[in-house]
Structure formats: structure tokens, C-alpha cells
Structure 1
Amino acid sequence: MLDFCRRPVAVDLFAGAGGFSLGIEQAGFDVAVAVEVDPIHAATHAYNFPHTKVLCADARKLSGKAIKEAAIQASGEIDLVIGGPPCQGFSLMGKRCLEDERNDLVFEFCRLVVELQPRYFVMENVPGIAQKEHAIYLDLINSELEAAGYCITQPVKVLKTAEFGVPQNRKRLILLGSRAGERQLEYPKPLIPNPQSVFTTVRDAIADLPNLDDFPELLTSDEVLLERRQLKKMRSLASLYAQQLMEASPDLNNFAYRRLSCGNLLTGSLRTQHSTTSIERFQKTLPGELESVSRFRRLHWDKLSHTLRAGTGSGGGRYTSPRPIHPDYHRVISVREAARLHSFPDWFRFHTTKWHGFRQIGNSVPPLLARAVGRQVIASLGIIPPKPKEPIELGNTQLLRFNPWEAARYWSVSSQGIVKLES
């Protein structure tokens, strides 16, 4: 029998800026609690999800009891636990390491699932966790959770984000678990059966966005108010995909709370100033090709973006991952353009610095992928969630401007080693 009366409750572990949280909310869940160790990312999550209790804490030092106490609206029952434990130790990109301390965080996810006893859980990770010497980790995870009374949906699958409407060539392993006595979860079927011929393109995602070089204020700020004519031009160029991210076209499958935001404010658009020699090299780089010096790849209007990566944190030397070159302009893409390629709506804001902004996107689960998985959980729960009628206010924009020490003070945590365990 279907339940029309409630929105189920979710908890997001290793929440980052909130890509997984957003997609799950769009599926119809209320995200009661989000756990994130990095104060900068926790502040960004708090800005975008003012209705969620954010715990800026190390998951290794957090108990399920503490999370349950924070989830006061859950009334003792948590329907879903989600999370993407940091994964660089498993990554196929760069050096893989069995001894990487981040590998152990997948077992902290398991521990908290066992302590919280949700009806369902979804864990996201890189495909490398299921390959070669790292496959032992996946076997151990399965054994630990099955021993705790959870049925793991088999075979474990790697999902392609392009098959769910994301204009990016990105693959993620998704682990689905159902508590004993619950209807077993199934993987979502692709919304786009053949992404090789029919998919959301780079053009669909960013062609309507204006040329940042036309706005001198974006040299010092990540936001600018667009004039009515500029906004009208954007909407005339926007694909259905872009219109839905702009909230200029209805999205019937979106059950998220509407955020009150300024519709003509372009955010996440701080300009990158390149040297003359870099610009000359970018000019010579053809769409889809790699620029040999910077190792930046130029996007192709009519294809998918390659995988957007986060780079490394301070523990790895604050390395910025190569950013794509715009298909037309001789510069790297902006944070907002990267957010469009990741399926974030335009109201969703990131830290005002490009370094943190790109890291937050690269570490996120694309919301459209998370939504597709979340809808499967909704179906297994037998719920048709109500669409929220009242919009909610976003948080204080100061949350997006903190430096690491200010963010640590805000959350009353230590600033030491803030980003060492990021994914």
C-alpha cells in the first residue's frame, strides 16, 4: 500500500558540499543530518541546506547515537543512509595505495550503518574499489554488512552518469543495501539507453551562459547581477536541461524544496586570468584535444565533458586538477560552468574561491545520478512523497567566504589537517 503522507528521512555521511544530499532531496527525501569533517565544505552544505543539521565532525569519532540525537525529526527511524567515503586510495587515476588511510573510511561508513540501522543504505565510490587488489575491500564491506542483517544488491554495479542525463563521462560504483524484511533495492534503469548517440552535451549545459570576460567585476568577485536583456538572452539560448537548472522550466520529477534565490544573480563565476602565452596555446588547442603544456583538455560542444576531478588537498600539496578549456573562449571553465556539467542547479552555490569551488564539485556525486538512485529507494519504501509547497531561504553568504581558520572557528573544531582526508 502506497504512503502519500510523508517524506522519508535520510542521513548523509561524508557529505561534502552536498551533491548526494541534493539528489536524494530531489527524489523526495528530507536530509535530516549531514556529516562532514572539513569546515569549509560543512559551511557550504549548511548554506545550501538550511533545513539540515550539519555535523562538522570526523566520522571515525562519531557514534550512531549522536547522529540519531541530531536527527530529531526522524522519530527513531531513519529510512536511508547515504555516503561517499573518501576514495583516492582506490582511484584508478594516479597512484593507488592499499595502505592509504582513506581506505579505512569505507568501514566507518559500514560501522555507522550498523549503528543507525536504516531501512536502506547507498554507498558511492570510485570503480577502482572493485578492481584488482582493492576488490578485497568490497568483499569485506559486503561480508560486514550482510552479517549485520543487510542484503546487498548483486551484482554490484558501476553506473555511468551520462545515462542519467549528466553531460559528463563519469563512472561511479554504487552499493545498494536493504535491511532484512524490506523490499530489496534495484538499480535504476538508464534514462538515456544509448548515451553514445543521445545524451546531454556540453552545449546543452553551458552554451547559454554569458562570456565572463564581458564583466570586469568578475575579476574580484564570483557574482554579478545580470541585466534583464542578458537574462532574456540566456533563456533564449538555454536547452531544456539548462532551463531546468535555471528553474525557468518545470521539472516534474524534482521533489526538492524550492530555494528563494535571486534569479538574475550569476554566481560561481570568478574569472581566471591567463598569461598571453597560455591564451595563445589555448587558441591552438582543438575541441577534445589536450593542451600539451597545461594538460588542460578543450571541451567539445557536441560531446560529453570528461570527468571533472578535484585535485588534492593540503596533505597532497594543494594540487589543482587540470580544468577543461571552454569550447569557444580561450580560458578554463568557471565554477558555475563546472556545476552545470555536474547537474547542479544555478541556485546552488559553492565556496567563492575557485580552488575550493572546483574541489567541491569534483568530489560531489552528480545530483541527477543521486536522484535516480534515490527514486529507487522511494519505490522500495512504497512512498509517493509530497512536493513541498513553501520555499525556504538559503543560508548566510558569509558561510561561502570563510577561510579554513574562520570556518574552523565557526564550527568550533581544529583547523589542523582539514583537507587531508578528502576524497
Structure 2
Amino acid sequence: MPDPCSKNAAGANHGVSEMMRSVELFVGAGGLGIGVSQAGFKPAAVMDWDRWACDTLRENKERGLDPVRDWPLHECDVRDFDFGSIAGDIDLVTGGPPCQPFSMGGRHRAFLDSRDMFPQAIRAVRALRPKAFIFENVKGLTRSSFSNYLEYIRLQLAYPDLVANRGEEWLTHLARLEDHHTRGRTKVLQYRVLMRVLNAANYGVPQRRERVFLVGFRADTEVEWHFPTPTHSRDALLWSQWREDIYWDLHQVAKKHRPQGGAGQARALAMRERPKELPWRTVRDAIADLPDPELSPRRAHDFHDHRFQPGARSYPGHTGSPLDEPAKTLKAGVHGVPGGENMLRRPDGSIRYFTVRESARLQTFPDDMIFHGSWTETMRQLGNAVPCELGRIVAAGVRNKLLSD
């Protein structure tokens, strides 16, 4: 059988399948991919070049972890992957093209950065012609300094067959795409592309993590779609904490140990009506059943990947995540693990690093999933991931539309 990661791989005949099939690019530790599988898609190919992330997936495949156990995993550079080797129709292409060029913590090189993999995402859409695609990236992609390049990405996804000419500068190609778009009618492959920044906390993830999602439907599907409506809110959490005491009673926190005052309590007391959404999920909601690995190390050893990591320190702008709020965004970091973003701040003000298991909970990975590599490497995998639950919700919305239209 030819190797699809070989530049000389032979193409395959495309058959017809009634199953909702997907291809996942840049899968990493599998956050978005797991969510897509949980939404009901079956991957025809899953790929990433990072050996540590692939080792994580391989180990969980060997352990039979659902849904990754049946993933056809390819450890390779997506630039070398022959999408013609994938037989049958593909309903959905998904992935998170490496985000370092756009990260607020990175160097902001965007189109000058060789790590920009959006061209490969566009190539996959052009080759596979899926009914829909879901691509996500860091919120930094929406910075004003990247606005022209973001529009360039969007228009390339809208018209993936209109490729740049040899030697054509990207701004010239952008102008040509704009000319084509304003003409309205087109006979080339076209996608209707929507973009929105989603906060994972608004969808039941115990983490304030904002990611930009680009979702497109092939024009001939005539799908009318909008992003999922938020189901959780900060106001609902504040109401639960300060107007009904439900939150504190649920966690058996005595009144003398509850924080008093603050802007959150004042806001709750000023509300006239109970919010309709569910409360934001907090760090305490996510990890309450796990023993503290610093205070109870023996009990913590009963839980996989739940080990105390020393060395946490707080400094201005890096003060950790309060226990009774959603966590701050977990980050991979350019040089090791950024302590302020990946720390827990207890009610008494003391701090410690989140364990791997706690971080996995905050990213809504399955509890029986294990991660391969050192603590720093594992936290990098988790910091780069999309929360599984957020991926599931977006993918489920796309799948429901594809099935109903």
C-alpha cells in the first residue's frame, strides 16, 4: 500500500460512503479531534508531525481508549501528505494549524513565519472538497495587525481552487481573490465561511479560553448555519454563588470559608432576574474530587498523571487561577511552562502548579486518557489543545446541519 505521507504516493479512486467521515489535520494531543469524533464523525485520516503528541495518541490507541482507538494515525509533515490517497467522500476537514505565528505570546510573524500551516489547511480543502470544514486558532489571529492576512485566509478558504500564481505576492493574490469575490457568481469550488471568537467557558468548559473558529460549508450544500448559542455565563455563576448559595452548598464550603465582598458579589446583588444560562464551571467544579497533590501526595498517587510539581511562583500579571472561577487560559509557552497561567491559586492565597490530570480536566479530556512525555512536554500538548467539549459542540452543530439539509 502506498504511503500517503510520501510525495510520490499514488491516488485512490473515490467511492461513496453514507458514513459521516472526517480528516483531522494537526491533531496534536487530540482535543479537537476527540470532540469531532464524539460528535459522530469517523476519521479517515488523522495526522501530526510531533512525535510526542503522536506517542500520546498511540499509547491511548493501544489501551483501547474511545474514541482514539480506531483513529488511522499518520505521524508525518502534512506538507508531505497525499490527500488523493484517501478513498471515498469526506464530509468534514478539521484542524488547528500551528498557531505560534499568531499567538499573543509569540513573535507575531504571521505570513513571514514558516510555521504558518494555513496554506496546508487550504490545500486539504482543495484536494478533498469536503462538505464542511472547521479550523481553529488563537484569538491573536484577530489582532488588527493581522487583519489583512486573516481576510486572505478567509478568501482562500472560500475559493480554494483560486491558487496563487508562481511568484505571486500574497497581497496581489488577495486583491485577485477580492475581485473574484465581488463579482458574485462563480463556477469554481466555493465555501461560505463564518468566523467567530468563542470563549470555552460559555459552553461549559471550566476555563476562560478564547479561540477563533473558521467554519465553512460548501456552497452547493445550501446550508444555513450559525455558531452554537452560549449555554453558560459568568452572571449565572455569580447568582449561584451569591444569591442562592447553591455553589457553596454543593461543594460543602462553610460560610466562614467563603470569600466575601468583591466586584462579583456586588454584581450578583445588583441583578434583578436570575440568568437563564447555566453557571460557568469553575476550577473547583472540575477538580473537587481530586486530592491536593501537595497536601495529600499519597492519595494523589491513586490518580494517573496527578503528581505535585514544585517551583510555582507568583509575580505581577501571573497570579494563577482562582479556585472558584473558570481557569485562566492554559498555555504551552515558548520556553517551558508559563507558571502564572498554569497555576492554581487557593482561597488562602497559596499557589501551586496544576497537575497534568487537573489540566486535562480543565481541557475536558477523558479522565482515562494518559499523556506521553515529561511534565513540561505534556503541559505543552495540553496548552496547545482545543477543549474536547468545545470541539464536540461546534462539530455537532455542523453535523446536525449536514444531516438535516
- Detail structure 1 runs of 4+ shifted over 4 Å in the superposition: none
Map 1:220-369 onto structure 2 (within 5 A).
224-225=301-302, 266-274=303-311, 291-292=314-315, 296-312=318-334, 318-322=335-339, 323-327=342-346, 330-369=351-390
Q: SS in structure 2 opposite 1:89? A: helix
Deviation at residue 380 of structure 1 after TM alignment? 1.6
CA contact (8 A) 2:21 2:91 kept: yes
1:140 aligned to which of 149, 152, 160: 152
Q: Aligned pair 1:51/2:74, yes or no?
A: no
Q: CA RMSD in A?
A: 2.5
Once residues 76 and 337 of structure 1 are traced to their aligned partners in structure 2, the CA distance between those partners, rounded to angstroms, is: 39
CA pair 23-185 structure 1, distance change in 2 beyond 3 A: farther
Deviation at residue 369 of structure 1 after TM alignment? 0.7
Q: Aligned pair 1:176/2:193, yes or no?
A: no
The residue number in structure 1 matching 2:256 is none
Give the counterpart letter for 1:320 in structure 2: V
Q: SS in structure 1 opposite 2:354? A: coil
The residue number in structure 2 matching 1:71 is none
Once residues 296 and 335 of structure 1 are traced to their aligned partners in structure 2, the CA distance between those partners, rounded to angstroms, is: 19
Q: Under a length normalisation based on structure 2, what TM-score does the superposition of the two structures give? A: 0.70
Render the CA deviation track for 1:315-347: whole Å, top value 9, x for unaligned.
xxx432222135266421101111111111201
2:191 aligned to which of 139, 151, 154: 151
Q: Which has the higher contact order (CA 8 A, sep 6+)?
A: 1
Q: Aligned pair 1:63/2:82, yes or no?
A: yes
Deviation at residue 108 of structure 1 after TM alignment? 1.1
| Number of equivalenced pairs | 307
Deviation at residue 133 of structure 1 after TM alignment? 2.5
Q: Under a length normalisation based on structure 1, what TM-score does the superposition of the two structures give? A: 0.67
The residue number in structure 1 matching 2:269 is none
The unaligned stretches of length 5 or more in structure 1 are 69-74, 219-223, 226-265, 283-290, 313-317, 385-423
Q: Name the larger-Rg structure.
A: 2
Once residues 334 and 12 of structure 1 are traced to their aligned partners in structure 2, the CA distance between those partners, rounded to angstroms, is: 28
The residue number in structure 2 matching 1:405 is none
Q: SS in structure 2 opposite 1:331? A: strand
Give the counterpart letter for 1:171 in structure 2: E
Deviation at residue 368 of structure 1 after TM alignment? 0.8
Once residues 31 and 210 of structure 1 are traced to their aligned partners in structure 2, the CA distance between those partners, rounded to angstroms, is: 36
CA contact (8 A) 2:103 2:139 kept: yes
Once residues 288 and 346 of structure 2 are traced to their aligned partners in structure 1, the CA distance between those partners, rounded to angstroms, is: 9
Once residues 310 and 198 of structure 2 are traced to their aligned partners in structure 1, the CA distance between those partners, rounded to angstroms, is: 36
Q: Aligned pair 1:215/2:227, yes or no?
A: no
CA contact (8 A) 1:35 1:56 kept: yes
CA contact (8 A) 2:310 2:353 kept: no
CA contact (8 A) 2:320 2:351 kept: no
Deviation at residue 352 of structure 1 after TM alignment? 4.6
Deviation at residue 304 of structure 1 after TM alignment? 1.3
Deviation at residue 157 of structure 1 after TM alignment? 0.8
Once residues 390 and 363 of structure 2 are traced to their aligned partners in structure 1, the CA distance between those partners, rounded to angstroms, is: 10
Give the counterpart letter for 1:212 in structure 2: P
CA contact (8 A) 1:187 1:373 kept: no
CA contact (8 A) 2:90 2:128 kept: yes
Give the counterpart letter for 1:140 in structure 2: Y
Once residues 102 and 87 of structure 1 are traced to their aligned partners in structure 2, the CA distance between those partners, rounded to angstroms, is: 11
Q: Aligned pair 1:121/2:138, yes or no?
A: no
2:45 aligned to which of 21, 33, 39: 33
CA contact (8 A) 2:29 2:385 kept: yes
